[in-house]
Amino acid sequence: MQALGKQTLAKNAQRFPTAVASRSSVRAMASKAHVCEPKWWTADDVAVVTGANKGLGFECARQLAGEAGFTTIVTARNGDQACLDFHQLDIADKKSIEAFKAWLQQKYGKLNVLVNNAAIAYKGSIFGPQEARITTDINYHGTADVTEALLPLMPTDGRSRVVTVASRAGLSSILKSQELKDRFMNAKGRADVDALVDEWLASVEKGDFSSKGWPGSMYGVSKLAVNAYHKALAKDLESKRIMVNTCCPGYCATDMSSHRGTSTAYDGARIFTWLATKPPQDFESGGFWVYDNTGVKWPM
């Protein structure tokens, strides 16, 4: 917030009211259960949220900026939002990722918290090879590309976290084949997960995915890949003291759920903020979390 000029703050008042709250009200709000204590970050620490123009990403950015007090950068694939600090970022476009990285490096020089929130889900019974590819390109490849591009900007002093939004729809129980389950659970890194995703896409193309033990959920497979990738990444980054976790916000009323969800976007985003602010002394990485006021680790 320190980095914001008066004009930006005035603009923020409309869309991010908590971001321009007084210092004392920010302090009072910081005691909310989803903002962890003790506070290890300062207003100079930088958080980035992808897909933050609406829904859970928007609420997460509000919480990280207004309630926790990070310098928070909102990213989205379209628009010039009247918000905290904005930069265009289409996670499925490598040029966009590189341009964002260069801007972030030049303007802030580092990144402490990356919230990988952006994703898509086709509505209703839409299913097909093209749609499966688009879903995995954005939800899995795009998320992994952003993470890999931005990791070099993350300090290795215990003050960096990757929080990636997955879903209970992407648990390994969606697979009917034990062999596929084992391969997802034991994936050693991006190459292993890429190979599984390629197999799934080929199977959808051929029409034999069900007999091979795959589910009929494009969104579910994309989030399963997200979970497997981050689990492996967490192991790789443990020695660098970078916490990497995935989570599920529950069924939330946003555009993705056609506003049928039973939780608000604000409540759903609390698990993102909780993981983003987890203190270095509570180091835990490679988990899949859902929110129940204290945070519960679910087995994948």
State the catalytic residues: 219
CB nearer to ligand NDP: pick between 30 and 290 = 290
Cβ distance to ligand NDP smaller for residue 57 or 295 = 57
Helices (H) and strands (E) in the chain, counts: 10, 8
Closest CB 90 distance from ligand NDP, rounded Å: 4
Which string of x and - marks every residue 65-104 that binds ligand NDP (by CB under 6 A)?
-----------xxx----------xxxx------------
Rounded to an integer, what distance in angstroms lies between the CA atom of residue 115 and that of residue 208? Answer: 35
Phi-psi region of 179 (alpha: psi -120 to 50; beta: other; left: phi over 0): alpha
79 vs 189 by CB, closer to ligand NDP: 79
Q: Strand pairing of 85-88 and 113-116?
A: unpaired
The binder of ligand NDP chosen from 66, 69, 220, 249 (CB under 6 A):
249
- Told to check if 261 binds ligand NDP by CB under 6 A, we report yes
Question: Which backbone phi and psi does 298 adopt, to 5 degrees?
Answer: -100, 140
Under the binding rule (CB under 6 A), the answer on residue 248 touching ligand NDP is yes
| Distance of closest approach, residue 143 Cβ to ligand NDP, in angstroms | 8
Binding mask 121-160 for ligand NDP (x = CB under 6 A): -----------------x---x------------------
CA distances from residue 184 to 49, 102, 230 in whole angstroms, order as listed: 27, 33, 11
Q: What crossing angle do the helices spanning 178-185 and 190-206 adopt, rounded to 10°?
A: 150
DSSP reduced 3-state for 115:
strand
Q: Does 255 help bind ligand NDP (rule: CB under 6 A)?
A: yes
What string of DSSP letters covers 154-197? Answer: S-SSS-EEEEEE--GGGSGGG-S-HHHHHHHHT--SHHHHHHHH
Shorter beta-carbon distance to ligand NDP: residue 57 or 66: 57
Of the candidates 103, 122, 251, 266, which one interacts with ligand NDP according to CB under 6 A?
Answer: 251
Q: Could you tell me the two tokens for 237?
A: 């980054």
Interatomic CA distance for residues 27 and 263, integer angstroms = 26
Q: Could you say whether residue 287 binds ligand NDP (CB under 6 A)?
A: no
Instruction: Work out which of 12, 254, 273, 285 binds ligand NDP, going by CB under 6 A.
Output: 254
Size of the site for ligand NDP (CB under 6 A): 31
Chain residues that interact with ligand NDP, rule: CB under 6 A: 50-51, 53-57, 76-78, 89-92, 117-120, 138, 142, 165, 167, 248-249, 251-252, 254-257, 261
